[in-house]
Amino acid sequence: MSDDVRTAILKASLELIDENGLRAFSMREAARRAHVSHQAPYHYFPDRESILAELVRNGFEQLHTYMSAGSTPADTAAERLERMGEAYIRFAIEHRALFRLMFRDEMVDIGHHPEAKAAADRSFHLLVEAVVGPSPSGEIADPAPILAVWSIAHGLASLELEGKLQHLFGERTPQEWKQIFSEVVRTVIPARG
Amino acid sequence: MSDDVRTAILKASLELIDENGLRAFSMREAARRAHVSHQAPYHYFPDRESILAELVRNGFEQLHTYMSAGSTPADTAAERLERMGEAYIRFAIEHRALFRLMFRDEMVDIGHHPEAKAAADRSFHLLVEAVVGPSPSGEIADPAPILAVWSIAHGLASLELEGKLQHLFGERTPQEWKQIFSEVVRTVIPARG
DNA sequence: GCTGCGCCCTGACAGTGTCAAGCCCGTCGG
DNA sequence: CCGACGGGCTTGACACTGTCAGGGCGCAGC
Whether residue B169 contacts residue A172, with contact meaning beta carbons closer than 8 Å, is answered with no
pLDDT digits (tens, 9 = 90+) for B147-160: 888 998 999 999 99
Lowest-confidence segment of A74-83, B12-21, B48-57 by average pLDDT: A74-83
pLDDT classification of A19: cutoffs 50, 70, 90: very high
Q: Does the beta carbon of B143 lie under 8 angstroms from any beta carbon of chain A? A: yes
The single-letter code of the amino acid at A134 is: P
Which residues in chain B are contacts of A169 at CB distance < 8 A? 140, 143
pLDDT at B10 over 70: yes
What are the extents of the domains in chain A?
A: 1-45, 47-188
Give the residue, A18 or A144, on which the prediction is more confident: A18
Q: Does the beta carbon of B152 lie under 8 angstroms from any beta carbon of chain A? A: yes
Per-residue confidence (pLDDT) for residue A95, from 0 to 100? 97
Q: How far apart are CA A189 and CA A77, in angstroms?
A: 10
pLDDT classification of B193: cutoffs 50, 70, 90: very low
**Percentage of chain A with pLDDT > 70?**
90
Q: How far apart are CA B162 and CA A77, in angstroms?
A: 28
Task: Give one word for A28, left, alpha or beta, with left for phi > 0 and alpha for psi -120 to 50.
Answer: alpha
Which residues in chain B are contacts of A159 at CB distance < 8 A? 147, 150-151, 154
pLDDT digits (tens, 9 = 90+) for A32-66: 999 999 999 999 999 999 999 999 999 999 999 99
Contact B143 A104 (CB under 8 A): no
pLDDT at B171 over 70: yes
Average pLDDT, chain A: 88
pLDDT at B20 over 90: yes
B1-45 and B47-188 share one CATH topology?
Answer: no
CA distances from A182 to A73, A156, A157, B117, B144 (A): 20, 11, 12, 28, 9
Nearest to B160 by CA among B73, B96, B85, B103: B96
Tell the CATH topology of A47-188: Tetracycline Repressor; domain 2 (1.10.357)
Q: Does the beta carbon of A31 lie under 8 angstroms from any beta carbon of chain B? A: no
pLDDT at B190 over 60: no
Q: Which residues contact A47 (CB under 8 A, 6 or more apart)?
A: none
Per-residue confidence (pLDDT) for residue B192, from 0 to 100? 42
Per-residue confidence (pLDDT) for residue A193, from 0 to 100? 40
pLDDT classification of B75: cutoffs 50, 70, 90: low
Does residue A43 reach within 7 angstroms of strand C, measured from its CB? yes
Nearest to B51 by CA among B3, B105, B108: B108
pLDDT classification of A134: cutoffs 50, 70, 90: confident
Q: How far apart are CA A50 and CA B35, in angstroms?
A: 36
Q: Which of residues 140-169 of B touch strand C (CB under 7 A)?
A: none
Q: What is the sign of the dihedral through the CA atoms of B132, B65, B22 and B170? A: positive
For residue A190, count other CB atoms closer than 10 A to its CB.
Answer: 12
CATH ID of A1-45, from 3.40.50.2300, 1.10.10.60, 1.25.40.10, 3.30.70.1560: 1.10.10.60
Long-range (24+ apart) CB contacts under 8 A made by B45-48 are B45/B9
3-state SS track over chain B? CHHHHHHHHHHHHHHHHHHHCHHHCCHHHHHHHCCCCCCHHHHCCCCHHHHHHHHHHHHHHHHHHHHHHCCCCCCCHHHHHHHHHHHHHHHHHHCHHHHHHHCCCCCCCHHHCHHHHHHHHHHHHHHHHHHHCCCCCCCCCCHHHHHHHHHHHHHHHHHHHCCHHHHHHCCCCHHHHHHHHHHHHHHHHHHCC
Per-residue confidence (pLDDT) for residue A2, from 0 to 100? 59
Q: Residue B50, CA: closest nucleotide via C1'?
A: C17
